[in-house]
Structure 1
Amino acid sequence: MVVLSQAAIFLRRAWRDGKEMGLSEDRLRSGFKTGVISALGPSVAVLAGMLALIATIGGPVAWMRLSVIGSVAFELPAAELGVSQFGYSLGDPNISQRAYATAVWAMTLGGTGWLLVAAFGTRHMEKAREKISNGNEKLIPIISSAAMLGAFAYFLSGEATAGTPETGSIAVGGLVMLALLRLADSRDIQWIREWALGGAMLVGLVVGTALQLTVGSWW
């Protein structure tokens, strides 16, 4: 209920601010639909991470960390780091109480950083954005795109060389994304643009799973 309430508040605020910025109803609906579709791909990854965490730290803690507080990109490595201090890995049966507690503390303490930044830094983001752009509004889309590319590159850098399934998943997913966007631009098909990210992530997930089950990891 907390997550749904937050989503409803953010949606209402975004819709109101969009109208104040002069966006039409059609553009607002298109943005909303694109956001919903784009959320499907990451939700599959969160579900897979949830299953991995449940096997080690149980359902309640896994649900709390991945549905309200944390991110699957952080929670899995943090839990793995915690249990590895005692010679265990995620999914190992009969881990010790100290390994379990260490994993939970690693996730909890490690996740406080972005909570503090969001709580105390959000109000200053607009001033930081204006200072970075130096008053040039044309730089805002470029800076935003660069930040997004940097975030994706950061998350992919560790996975790209982690093994054959990971490398194949990233490569195929990226190629599918480019192909779908090129097809959408050449034929001006809006729904392909909306489904491009979710479709590319789903194809990459399937390819990575298939490689893991067939050839395994070559490095």
Structure 2
Amino acid sequence: MIAVTMWYEAFSLVPAYMDIANSRWLWLATVPVVSVVLLQAAIFLRRAWQDGKEMGLSDEQLRSGFKTGFISAIGPAFAVLAGMLALIATVGGPVAWMRLSVIGSVAFELPAAEIGVSQFGYSLGDGDITREAYTTAVWTMTLGGTGWLLVSALGTPHMESARRKIANGKDDLIPVVSSAAMLGAFAYFLSGEIPAGTPETGSVAAGGLVMLVVLHIADKRDAQWVREWALGTAMVVGLLVGVAIQVTVGSWW
């Protein structure tokens, strides 16, 4: 009897809208979206291999490149997984699966969902969120991310010509421009994290230090496989250090 009572109390804490958020129909509705993402990944993988062959790259070089990309994706995958756990608790498994498969940014999805439910006077985590408020949150997340998809679809075909114009016809500058763009992207994201708090600052510092150490070891031993693990290792270590600082000392600013 006690066990039944505890189960009932725990079950009653689950918001009513979660019946819809985790329904089988919503799972079925999200399958086509995720399937398109997987199909795109397969097509890009196949095209990348074919284009690499046309450029004269060997199978060993192509395998090395793909392995580097796979390892480098481990760090961001951990961050997305942690964000998905938070998103599942608020909007349910199907929507979290769909949204993070398409966009992959919990930093956007959670605030968007919060904006949606706030129009009805609720906040994420409230137990009495209505179905209408939940539906509004899902629409806010979906429509809010449409702009990124449109920019990618319409702007990507012109990126290569823009890069060549920036290089001003000098092929030697193209790798420099590409590297500078990547460094600028990393710097842009880090610039917002460093002043955010002690855990964020510690995470960035630890990740950067690990990156330098791993690259130094790779250069010293001329080990390409070590270099391939550099970015993924730095991201994972930075993530763990940030969590450890948050749990132990918290944020000092």
Same fold (TM over 0.5): yes
Q: Alpha carbons of 1:131 and 1:48: their partners in 2 closer, same or farther (altered >3 Å)? A: same
Q: Report if aligned partners of 1:34, 1:195 keep a CA contact under 8 Å in 2.
A: yes
State how far apart, in whole Å, the 2-side matches of 1:152 and 1:82 are: 30
Alignment pair present for 1:192 and 2:226: yes
The amino acid of 1:192's aligned partner reads V
Q: Alpha carbons of 1:107 and 1:210: their partners in 2 closer, same or farther (altered >3 Å)? A: same
CA-to-partner distance for each residue in 1:1-25, whole Å, 9 max, x for gaps?
4333222211111111111111111
Q: Report if aligned partners of 1:160, 1:170 keep a CA contact under 8 Å in 2.
A: yes
Indicate the residue corresponding to 1:209 in structure 2. 243
Q: Report if aligned partners of 1:50, 1:63 keep a CA contact under 8 Å in 2.
A: yes
Larger radius of gyration: 2
State how far apart, in whole Å, the 2-side matches of 1:95 and 1:112 are: 29
Alignment pair present for 1:78 and 2:151: no
Alignment pair present for 1:22 and 2:56: yes
Q: Alpha carbons of 1:175 and 1:119: their partners in 2 closer, same or farther (altered >3 Å)? A: same
1:1-219 correspondence to structure 2 within 5 Å: 1-82=35-116, 86=121, 88=123, 92-94=125-127, 96-97=129-130, 100-219=134-253
Q: What is the CA-CA distance between 1:95 and the residue it aligns to?
A: 5.7
Task: Name whichever of 43-52 and 146-155 sits farther off.
Answer: 146-155
Aligned pairs, number: 217
Task: Name whichever of 202-211 and 117-126 sits farther off.
Answer: 117-126
Identity %: 76
Q: Alpha carbons of 1:81 and 1:138: their partners in 2 closer, same or farther (altered >3 Å)? A: farther
Q: What is the CA-CA distance between 1:93 and the residue it aligns to?
A: 3.8
Runs of 4+ that moved beyond 4 A: 80-87
The amino acid of 2:127's aligned partner reads N
The amino acid of 2:238's aligned partner reads G
Q: What is the CA-CA distance between 1:99 and the residue it aligns to?
A: 5.2
Q: Alpha carbons of 1:197 and 1:113: their partners in 2 closer, same or farther (altered >3 Å)? A: same
Q: Report if aligned partners of 1:56, 1:93 keep a CA contact under 8 Å in 2.
A: no
Give the secondary structure class of the aligned counterpart of 2:171.
Answer: coil
CA-to-partner distance for each residue in 1:133-170, whole Å, 9 max, x for gaps?
11111111111112112211222222211111111111
State how far apart, in whole Å, the 2-side matches of 1:175 and 1:111 are: 34
Task: Name whichever of 138-147 and 120-129 sits farther off.
Answer: 120-129
Indicate the residue corresponding to 2:17 in structure 1. none
Q: What is the CA-CA distance between 1:214 and the residue it aligns to?
A: 0.7
Output the TM-score relative to the length of structure 1.
0.89
Q: What is the CA-CA distance between 1:80 and the residue it aligns to?
A: 4.5
Q: What is the CA-CA distance between 1:205 and the residue it aligns to?
A: 1.1
CA-to-partner distance for each residue in 1:8-48, whole Å, 9 max, x for gaps?
21111111111111111111111011111111111110000
